[in-house]
Every structure is written in structure tokens, then in C-alpha cells.
Amino acid sequence: MSTLQLGVLVSGNGSNLQAILDAIADSRLDAAVRLVVSNVPDVRALERAERAGVPSLTLCHREFSSRELYEQRLADVLDEAGVEWVALAGFMRILTSTFLRRFPDRVVNIHPALLPAFAGAHAQLQALNYGVKVAGCTVHFVDEGVDSGPIIAQRTVPVFDDDDEASLSGRILTEEHRAYVEVLQWIAEGRIHLAGGSEGSRARVVRQPP
Ligand code: GRF
């Protein structure tokens, strides 16, 4: 097992980034965050990186003339920082093959719903409006679709009759922090295997060697 060389992409609050940083500090996660990149300036996630002494930078997509040029630069800065795996943590941009082929099968995301239900924005509100009684989060590989890559792990939470978007989001977020750290540790241990099939790829977690 070797220390996971991680890049984390953010756009906002960064509580998942914080969960990752805390788990590394507590030796629950064998990883090093080599670089945090935000596409939005002055967000809380950048403050969290700074407080943890982790390198960070803002790479604003609006300053690039095309999506392709933005993604090339994004991949370059991560590469130069020694990043091997990329974790999206509230990163509000769709990534295309320009970026993904630079980190093949090494980009993961966390989504606040039980995929394939409620992909896209405001997933918790979509779930509430639908009237589901169980909600949750999903950690998955990133492909070119919207929240559509192979699922690695899911965690569930109950939905209560008096929930609103904020209360449900908070309950899901607590599970997100646990799920993301757990999956990243599995990756560090080399335990996630992607098997291709005619219907698409499936991710499975290999049992720990005895
Ligand atoms: C989380 O709900 C995550 O699932 C979604 O964006 C939110 C980011 O929260 N992709 P935070 O910035 O990690 O606090």
C-alpha cells in the first residue's frame, strides 16, 4: 500500500475536503493532498486548505477561452503537483475527456443522492419533491456523463416528514464525509477494481487480504 497522492477539486464550502484533511491528520486515511484547486475565488474550501497547510490555487474557468484549454491547464497543474488520483468535492463543473483521459479511471466524485436517482443539481431537493423515504449519497468514478460513472459506495439516511432541503442535506452530508474517506482509503489500499462489461463498467471492492 502506498500513500495516495490526491488532488481535490472544489467550488465552495469544502466540508468534504475538511473530512479528507481530518482523516489524513488522524491517520485514518493514508493520503497526501498535493493540491486543492477551486474554480471559484475566495471560497471557504480554500481557507480550509490554507489552514491545513495544503497547497491550493484558484483556476477560474471564465478566464479561459474554451473548456478544452481550461481542462488542459487543470490537468497540468495537478500533474505538476504530483497528483495521481483526483477527488471532486463539490466541484461544480462537468469534466470532459480532455481532462479525464489525463487521469484514466482515477477521478472520483461524491453526489448527495442514491444514484442513478436524482443526478445533477439540487439532488436533495429532487429527492424531497419526489417523496422518497430513503435518501443518501454515492461515491462514483467520473465519466463524461452527469453523475453517471460506476458506483463505488452508497450510504443511506431516512427522510422524515418534516424535512426541508437544509435538514435532509445536513443528514446526507454527515454520511458523505464518512463514505468519501472510506472509499479513498480503499483506493489507497488498491482495493477498488473496475470490471468492464457489455452493459458498462462495474466497480467492486476487493476484500482486505487476511
Ligand atoms: C456535497 O453535497 C457533495 O455531495 C456535492 O456538493 C456538496 C459539496 O459540499 N457534490 P462541500 O463543499 O464538500 O461542503
Tens digit of each residue's pLDDT (9 = 90 or more) over 60-80 = 999 999 999 999 999 999 999
Classify burial at 171, counting beta carbons within 10 Å of its beta carbon; exposed 0-12, middle 13-18, buried 19 or more: middle
How much is the pTM? Answer: 0.95
Number of domains in the chain: 2
Q: State the pLDDT at residue 3.
A: 96
Residue 16 alpha carbon to ligand 1 centre in Å: 6
Residues 87 and 34 in one domain: yes
Distance of CA 110 from the midpoint of ligand 1 (Å)? 7
- Which residues are known catalytic residues? 111
Question: Which atom, in ligand 1's list, is nearest to the CA of 15?
Answer: 14
Least Cα distance to 52 among 72, 34, 70 occurs for: 34
Q: Supply the pLDDT for residue 210.
A: 53
Answer whether 124 contacts ligand 1 (Cβ < 6 A).
Answer: no
For residues 42 and 65, state if they share a domain: yes
Does 95 share its domain with 147? no
Both 29 and 124 in one domain: the answer is no
> The domain that contains 195 carries what CATH number?
3.40.50.170
Identify the domain boundary among 104, 133, 164: 104
Best of 8, 16, 94 to mutate for ligand 1, by most ligand atoms within 8 A of CB?
A: 16
Q: Are 206 and 147 members of one domain?
A: yes
Same domain, 165 and 191: yes
The span from the CA of 17 to the CA of 54, in Å, is 11
pLDDT at 207: 79
Confidence bin at 198 (pLDDT 50/70/90) = low
**Cβ(176) – ligand 1 distance below 6 Å:** yes
Indicate whether 115 and 208 sit together in one domain.
Answer: yes
Residue of minimum CA distance from atom 5 in ligand 1: 90
Q: Which of 55, 89, 104 is the last residue of a domain?
A: 104
> Over the range 89-107, which residues count as b (16 or more CB within 10 Å of their CB) and which as e?
bbbebebeebbbebbebbb
Determine the structural domain holding residue 201 and report its residue range: 109-210
Average pLDDT, the chain: 95
Q: Which of 104, 122, 140 is the last residue of a domain?
A: 104
Residue 1 has a pLDDT of 63
